[in-house]
Chains A and B, each alone.
Chain A
């Protein structure tokens, strides 16, 4: 099972007020699923961490320009055009040889230096308001779970659905435990999560920025396009989905 839930580090408890309790009583149990890259933050987490890991964290400053650098590598670019899953599989090989502790430390550092400044101004407000309606808050990302934890904690997420690296004696092998979370498999992960948690999928929210995440938006009852690319914006228009611009 690739969808991992209930990470201790990411569980964020909120003291329920009247409104929260009432919302929970009256509404079917549901969740809000957030894509990260382009939705909550302006950078690309997968690229950033991949490059970071490949450089063993030597170059903190370099990480600031990782997304652009990595996207420019022809092999990765070509793979990304063919399939996001293929891209990710190739990409995660860069993690080979890195220790778990190191990855956690790098994640904290990169969050503070790269991701935090890249969080969209309205993102936290939106997540807060969604939490106020009494639904679970869940990040769904193609990034590695360990790398996304600091961000998930900052947003007060309840759970994270992310890719999991294979470790051998606490050293990454460069392989990802399958199935890989990307594109259409995000939708499957969301469905599985709802089934496991007994949530009403039709009452769930989805927040994504890219057409690549169309399937994830299509399975939830309350899809929302956030900072959408051109194709998703057109799609959102034709489906009358809300379009939010947090930039």
Chain B
């Protein structure tokens, strides 16, 4: 007979008396905490080796697509082509140069030019995300593509352009299928994805990235979220993904979409920071010194500078797979590879789940703050949803997060978040009421729309989506306790309890779940996805 402990994957470590303290993300800082004996700690898998020649791999994929003719065979002079790419919301943090978008675009543009295709537009598929700055765009696409195309033929999707959208029709569920006019009127749409996590890519790309508020309303609502299982399991029973698939399939009946999807490994930390991806029990003396030096430096550095430094340290992500062709077969293959990198077998659910919340979310890259709504979406929207099968924490269990929860907002990037958090959320936390009573106001607010269109602001309705995004986590867990909040009102507004230390939070959680409660800590980041049996 094998013990349960032995059935776990090697990435699952059980704390015993001699175990080292564990490192947890805490915004722009780290905590070093002793965990109770018996606590499970789930580590990310080691990075899969990157493909030795990414450019060759991409070219091979374009010439050997799944479910359709090779890309060169689809090209002819005079045709109208639109290339769509992902925005700065992934991968996180930004990857080292060259960014995969640059590599894909350089290959695609060369191929299009070789076949006499001159009418080419590159659209950054932001949906209702913020527009990137010119410098951010240049970093993503590379100087060559930037110089040749920005801003005339390389630009952001504008979901509020009065003449910029086309409605292709409605799905059998009545969801309007609305997409960017230029893309809709093209002979060929090439969507080049970076699949940072399993929820990226697939039918979500065109159906979400190139649509507008009316299009998003079909699935960005509390009902769809409550009826969704893990966001990271597109094949699972999730209304969210079902809606994406209906909309995407409908769009592809009317449009010629050629998909390129790329999976990356999880080499988030590199160089002197590489030790952060290791099991603390395996730390060398040098690793321990590096961590102490890091802590000391952070303690002497102002918060704004710490943010700046964290944002500027790129991740060493490498391409591990690329497929091209029709959306569904391509996405299936990429999902397999993505799970190979991220999925860790875990036996049984936890009563108490601990997650360190890092400094970054898809929505605050290069922002001056990670505001409370983003802490919420990170905890209940993303970290909670990093599972397949069953949630890692039991229904009614306790989720412990570590983050300062500072009441600070980047008003250039998140102007409407301030109003939502301090006016609406302070009044009610009920997402259904938000949706019915406030959503339209935020979505049609002319000031927020202009800031989205002409500035670098997320759309006015976006903070509501952030709250909806946490809805399935909120419905599932019994309690959220945040460790180290620097104020009382932010946790109170979000309906969370507060603890000064992790030990205090665990004691509070145990008083709820019992002394023998199973405690699990996920050692993110990089990304780790629990396959809960």
Chain A residues whose C-beta falls within 8 Å of the C-beta of B453 in the assembled complex: 122, 125
Confirm or deny: B234 has a beta carbon within 8 angstroms of a beta carbon on chain A.
no
For the complex formed, measure the closest distance between the CB of A16 and the CB atoms of chain B, giving whole angstroms.
15
Confirm or deny: B100 has a beta carbon within 8 angstroms of a beta carbon on chain A.
no
- Assembled-state Cα–Cα distance A224/B411 (Å): 12
Is A130 in contact with B446, judged by CB distance below 8 angstroms?
yes
Confirm or deny: B418 has a beta carbon within 8 angstroms of a beta carbon on chain A.
yes
The residue from A23, A27, A240, A246 contacting B454, defined by CB atoms under 8 A apart: A246
With A240-B409, A240-B411, A243-B411 known as contacts, the answer to whether A129 contacts B444 (CB < 8 A) is yes
Interface residues of B in 388-415 (CB under 8 A from A): 409, 411-412, 415
Chain B residues whose C-beta falls within 8 Å of the C-beta of A246 in the assembled complex: 450, 454
The residue from A126, A205, A222 contacting B450, defined by CB atoms under 8 A apart: A126
With A237-B411, A240-B409 known as contacts, the answer to whether A133 contacts B454 (CB < 8 A) is no
Is B411 in contact with A133, judged by CB distance below 8 angstroms?
no
Chain B residues whose C-beta falls within 8 Å of the C-beta of A245 in the assembled complex: 454-455
Chain A residues whose C-beta falls within 8 Å of the C-beta of B455 in the assembled complex: 243-245
Interface residues of B in 443-491 (CB under 8 A from A): 444-451, 453-455
Interface residues of A in 14-43 (CB under 8 A from B): 23, 26-27, 32
Is B444 in contact with A132, judged by CB distance below 8 angstroms?
yes
- Assembled-state Cα–Cα distance A205/B446 (Å): 10
Is B447 in contact with A224, judged by CB distance below 8 angstroms?
yes
Chain A residues whose C-beta falls within 8 Å of the C-beta of B447 in the assembled complex: 126, 205, 207, 222, 224, 242, 244
With A126-B446, A130-B446 known as contacts, the answer to whether A242 contacts B451 (CB < 8 A) is yes
User: Mask for A41-60, Cβ within 8 A of B = 1, else 0?
Assistant: 00000000000000000000
Is A242 in contact with B454, judged by CB distance below 8 angstroms?
no
Chain A residues whose C-beta falls within 8 Å of the C-beta of B451 in the assembled complex: 242-244
Confirm or deny: B440 has a beta carbon within 8 angstroms of a beta carbon on chain A.
yes
Chain A residues whose C-beta falls within 8 Å of the C-beta of B416 in the assembled complex: 242
- Assembled-state Cα–Cα distance A122/B455 (Å): 12
- Assembled-state Cα–Cα distance A191/B247 (Å): 48
For the complex formed, measure the closest distance between the CB of B304 and the CB atoms of chain A, giving whole angstroms.
15
- Assembled-state Cα–Cα distance A240/B419 (Å): 8
For the complex formed, measure the closest distance between the CB of B532 and the CB atoms of chain A, giving whole angstroms.
41
A236 nearest CB neighbor, chain B only: B411
- Assembled-state Cα–Cα distance A243/B411 (Å): 8
Is B444 in contact with A240, judged by CB distance below 8 angstroms?
no
Chain B residues whose C-beta falls within 8 Å of the C-beta of A125 in the assembled complex: 162, 450, 453
With A122-B454, A129-B449 known as contacts, the answer to whether A242 contacts B444 (CB < 8 A) is no
Is A243 in contact with B446, judged by CB distance below 8 angstroms?
no
A130 nearest CB neighbor, chain B only: B446
- Assembled-state Cα–Cα distance A246/B446 (Å): 12
B444 nearest CB neighbor, chain A only: A133
Chain B residues whose C-beta falls within 8 Å of the C-beta of A126 in the assembled complex: 446-447, 449-450
- Assembled-state Cα–Cα distance A130/B449 (Å): 10
Chain B residues whose C-beta falls within 8 Å of the C-beta of A122 in the assembled complex: 450, 453-454
For the complex formed, measure the closest distance between the CB of B530 and the CB atoms of chain A, giving whole angstroms.
38
Interface residues of A in 213-247 (CB under 8 A from B): 222, 224, 237, 240, 242-246
User: Mask for B45-74, Cβ within 8 A of A = 1, else 0?
Assistant: 000000000000000000000000000000
Considering residues A122, A132, A205, A224, which has the most beta carbons from chain B within 10 angstroms of its beta carbon?
Answer: A224
For the complex formed, measure the closest distance between the CB of B452 and the CB atoms of chain A, giving whole angstroms.
10
- Assembled-state Cα–Cα distance A151/B449 (Å): 23
With A129-B449, A237-B411 known as contacts, the answer to whether A244 contacts B454 (CB < 8 A) is yes
- Assembled-state Cα–Cα distance A44/B492 (Å): 48
- Assembled-state Cα–Cα distance A26/B448 (Å): 20
For the complex formed, measure the closest distance between the CB of A211 and the CB atoms of chain B, giving whole angstroms.
18
The residue from A23, A127, A222, A240 contacting B418, defined by CB atoms under 8 A apart: A240
The residue from B409, B440, B448 contacting A23, defined by CB atoms under 8 A apart: B440
The residue from B162, B441, B450 contacting A244, defined by CB atoms under 8 A apart: B450
B414 nearest CB neighbor, chain A only: A240
Considering residues B418, B445, B447, B453, which has the most beta carbons from chain A within 10 angstroms of its beta carbon?
Answer: B447
- Assembled-state Cα–Cα distance A222/B454 (Å): 19
User: Mask for A94-131, Cβ within 8 A of B = 1, else 0?
Assistant: 00000000000000000000000000001001110110
Interchain Cβ contacts under 8 Å between A and B, 29 examples? A23-B444, A32-B446, A122-B450, A122-B454, A125-B162, A125-B450, A126-B447, A129-B449, A133-B441, A133-B444, A133-B446, A205-B447, A207-B447, A222-B447, A224-B447, A240-B411, A240-B415, A240-B419, A242-B411, A242-B445, A242-B447, A242-B448, A243-B411, A243-B415, A243-B455, A244-B454, A245-B454, A246-B450, A246-B454
B residues engaging A (CB < 8 A)?
A: 162, 409, 411-412, 415-416, 418-419, 422, 440-441, 444-451, 453-455
Q: A205-B446, A237-B411 are in contact. List 16 more A-B contacts (CB 8 A).
A: A26-B440, A125-B162, A125-B453, A127-B446, A129-B450, A205-B447, A207-B447, A240-B419, A240-B422, A242-B415, A242-B416, A242-B448, A242-B451, A244-B447, A244-B454, A246-B454
The 8 closest A-B pairs by CB, nearest first: A129-B446, A242-B447, A224-B447, A130-B446, A240-B418, A244-B450, A242-B415, A126-B450
A residues engaging B (CB < 8 A)?
A: 23, 26-27, 32, 122, 125-127, 129-130, 132-133, 205, 207, 222, 224, 237, 240, 242-246
